[in-house]
């Protein structure tokens, strides 16, 4: 059985050194409450694929869920492993902790472009599968996540409906009263579209005056009456992952497998057959029957 460690020094620096040195052997349940939070945050930042389950098992005594939330949030915020950050997002969603979910949404907004896209997909998937927080909270999260991935929704809307470019261009390039009028024009056009395209248009729209923002906010609130349905519509705009090429295609490029390699020029084939016949005549009767040759004896 592994021996557990507990810092006993009064000096804060010496206790911190024990945390750094013996992170995965510390008896967390016997630490003061404030230091339990320190350990959870440090473990979230340092966790790897090998000790992920161990870290969660060391917090088995946490009945409040606060330490577990601190562990996951710090992982999302500071862990270097991108796969673990996504895993932490998934577990935050499963816990249905509105405060932790809100903090996770805020953190994902600061990620790099590709990682932010994966984080947005993970959080949208969570909102599509189960409710988290109040409906007004879910609505706010959905449109923040849509804003983080605006380029994805704009790309879909432009491909689906050519008028998208003109309407969004008018909105972006106008100001003052004209900007608000163009926002209303966009919202009026949205009402005539199906839910998926309407959600993409509202996600792609960008207002820069309070009046135009109020117009868009009203349309977005009406669109999000069922947050899970809106999350599913926004998820559909993300491109599917690229498929790997099949083995047959790769083997076709080799020396002996593809259909192209099996095709031969008829003239060349006829020429080769003629040479084989001539060689057979010179050898006096062609190739020997392999069955007539004696088999080697076993030693």
Class of residue 149 by CB neighbours under 10 A (exposed 0-12, middle 13-18, buried 19+): buried
Residue 8's domain spans which residues?
Answer: 1-110
CB-CB contact of 121 with 109 (8 Å): no
pLDDT of residue 182: 97
Choose one of 211, 239, 267: the last residue of a domain.
Answer: 239
Is residue 127 within 8 A of residue 108, CB to CB? The reply is: no
> Would you state the pLDDT for residue 289?
47
Are 8 and 62 part of one and the same domain?
Answer: yes
Residues 4 and 103 in one domain: yes
Joined together, the tokens standing for residue 55 give: 């870290």
In a domain, 151, yes or no: yes
* Together in a domain, 177 and 232: yes
Point out the residues of the chain with pLDDT beneath 70: 1, 241-299
- The verdict on residue 186 lying in a domain is yes
Q: What is the reported pLDDT for 3?
A: 81
Are the C-beta atoms of 86 and 107 separated by less than 8 Å? no
Annotate 259-285 with b (16+ C-beta within 10 A) or e (fewer). eeeeeeeeeeeeeeeeeeeeeeeeeee
Question: What pLDDT is attached to residue 281?
Answer: 47
Residue 123, domain member (yes or no): no
Same domain, residue pair 163 and 216: yes
- Domains held by the chain: number: 2
Please state, as a whole number, how many other Cβ atoms lie within 10 Å of the Cβ of residue 144: 16
Separation between Cα atoms, residue 236 and residue 267, nearest integer Å: 54
Which of 217, 239, 261 delimits the end of a domain? 239
Q: Are residues 17 and 97 in the same domain?
A: yes
3-state secondary structure 191-208: CCCCHHHHHHHHHHCCCC
Tokens of 173: 């390039």
Secondary structure in 3-state letters for 136-195: HHHHHHHHHHHHHCHHHHHHHHHHHCCHHHHHHHHHHCCCHHHHHHHHHHHHHHHCCCCH
Q: How much is the pLDDT for 4?
A: 84
- Tell whether 8 and 94 lie within a shared domain: yes
Q: Are 30 and 18 in contact (CB under 8 A)?
A: no
- Residue 63's alpha-carbon distances to 37, 44, 66, 277, in angstroms, are 14, 18, 8, 88
Domain contains 274? no
Residues 157, 205 share a domain:
yes
Residues 138 and 223 in one domain: yes
In the prediction, which pLDDT does 268 show?
55
């Amino acid at each position: 059985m592994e021996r557990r460690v507990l810092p006993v020094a009064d000096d804060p620096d010496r206790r911190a050194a024990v945390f750094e040195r013996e992170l995965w052997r510390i008896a967390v349940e016997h630490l003061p409450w404030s230091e339990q939070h320190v350990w959870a945050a440090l473990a979230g930042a340092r966790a790897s694929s090998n000790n992920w389950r161990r870290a969660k098992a060391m917090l088995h005594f946490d009945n409040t869920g606060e330490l577990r939330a601190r562990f996951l949030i710090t992982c999302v915020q500071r862990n270097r492993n991108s796969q673990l950050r996504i895993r932490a997002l998934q577990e935050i969603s499963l816990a249905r902790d509105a405060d932790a979910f809100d903090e996770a949404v805020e953190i994902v907004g600061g990620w790099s472009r590709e990682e932010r896209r994966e984080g947005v997909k993970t959080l949208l998937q969570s909102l599509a599968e189960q409710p988290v927080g109040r409906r007004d909270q879910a609505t706010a999260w959905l449109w923040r996540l849509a804003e983080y991935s605006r380029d994805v929704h704009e790309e879909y809307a432009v491909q689906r409906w050519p008028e998208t470019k003109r309407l969004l261009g008018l909105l972006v390039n106008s100001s003052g009263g004209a900007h608000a009028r163009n926002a209303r024009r966009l919202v009026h056009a949205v009402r005539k579209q199906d839910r998926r395209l309407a959600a993409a248009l509202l996600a792609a729209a960008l207002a820069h005056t309070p009046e135009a923002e109020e117009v868009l906010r009203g349309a977005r609130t009406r669109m999000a009456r069922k947050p899970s349905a809106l999350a599913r519509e926004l998820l559909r705009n993300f491109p599917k992952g690229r498929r790997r090429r099949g083995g047959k295609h790769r083997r076709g490029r080799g020396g002996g497998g593809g259909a192209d390699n099996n095709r031969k020029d008829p003239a060349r084939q006829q020429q080769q057959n003629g040479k084989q016949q001539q060689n057979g005549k010179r050898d006096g009767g062609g190739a020997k029957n392999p069955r007539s040759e004696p088999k080697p004896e076993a030693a």
